[in-house]
Amino acid sequence: MQTSSDHHTGIAPHQCGRCCTNIDKISVTLDRHPVIEDISLHLHCGELTTVVGPNGAGKSTLLRALLGEVPHTGSIHFLPVFGPGREDAPSIGYVPQSLDFDRFSPCSVCDLFAASASRFPVPLGCRGGVRQTALSALEAVEAGGLLDRKLGKLSGGELQRVLLALSLTPVPNLLLLDEPVSGIDLPGRELFYRTVSGLRRRFDLSILMVSHDLAGIASVSDRIVFLDRRVVCVGSPGEVLANRDFRHAFGLDLEDLS
């Protein structure tokens, strides 16, 4: 994709590692109940951080706060070495949990890209430039053949890859994935993880992913954050999976006994 080079000009991917998204003391209170409190995280380029936690732990709320959809205290800063992001507002790509949309809509994948990327009205047709950009973005996630398919006819895994490609056009500073593999079959999950894993290196992206899929995330994540309203523990997959609170929350300590 042509945007990969202008994100970190002159630096080979994998060597940056310095620019950082700073999430500083984010708290969200809804109806006077604290949903998340004092979340502080540093996300480095080229790193995939996975947020896990029980239901109601505030994982999706954290993402929505980062997107600016719910009022929150605290701040999010992007410290760029190079690149287009302003310090106060990193550009954010977002892949929703499940696209709740009308399955019978005749909107095609190309229409979705055209509607997001330009103001030229989609009913007047997809223009060549948009088509080409969309195609190369899709090819980056092994979905080149889906360009002219209708959104409603895609499988769960295909749709997730299309949304991933969309969130990378243009390449953002920070990529948020909200339970991207829920509702995808096992081969689809593996393909999705493999793609995401490749992308983080190729585009030197900070990725923050919320997931329930404990089996899958251990191999793909650089870091895991165990969240239960506040950050309970952060560390490498090995560290977090060995954590007592974590094992207790997910019922893994019982398996040890049996």
Partner 1 sequence: MSFLIDLLASLPFEWARYGFMRNALVAVALVSPLFGVMGTLVVNNRMAFFSDAIGHASLTGLGLGILLGLADPLLALVAFAMLLGIGILALHRFTRSAMDTIISLCMSFSVALGVVLLSRGGNFNRYSHYLIGDLLSITPREIGWLCLTAFLVGGGLLLCYNRILLVGLNESLARSRGVNTWWTQMFFVSSIVMVVTMNLSWVGLLIINSLLILPAAAARNIAGNTRQYVLFAMTTALASGICGLLISYYADTASGATIVLVAMGFYFLTLAAKALRQ
* Nearer CB in complex with partner 1: 119/258: 119
Q: Provide, rounded to whole angstroms, the least separation between the CB of residue 147 and partner 1.
A: 10
First to last CA, the chain: 50
d(CA 135, CA 98): 22
Strands (DSSP E) contained in 4-91 are: 20-30, 33-44, 48-52, 73-79
* Nearer CB in complex with partner 1: 68/145: 68
Q: Provide, rounded to whole angstroms, the least separation between the CB of residue 125 and partner 1.
A: 5
* Nearer CB in complex with partner 1: 147/196: 147
* Nearer CB in complex with partner 1: 109/240: 109
d(CA 224, CA 48): 9
d(CA 252, CA 116): 43
CB contact at 8 A, 192 and 180: yes
Q: Which residues bind partner 1 (CB under 8 A)?
A: 64, 67-69, 92-94, 96, 99-102, 104-108, 110-112, 114-116, 118-126, 148, 150-151, 163, 167
d(CA 141, CA 8): 20
* Nearer CB in complex with partner 1: 109/241: 109
Q: Residue 251: beta bridge partners?
A: none
CB contact at 8 A, 228 and 61: no
| 131 token code pair | 């088509």
Q: Provide, rounded to whole angstroms, the least separation between the CB of residue 39 and partner 1.
A: 19
Q: Provide, rounded to whole angstroms, the least separation between the CB of residue 200 and partner 1.
A: 19
* Nearer CB in complex with partner 1: 32/119: 119
Q: Distances in Å between the alpha carbon of 100 and those of 97, 150, 186?
A: 9, 15, 22
Q: Provide, rounded to whole angstroms, the least separation between the CB of residue 238 and partner 1.
A: 32
Q: Provide, rounded to whole angstroms, the least separation between the CB of residue 180 and partner 1.
A: 13
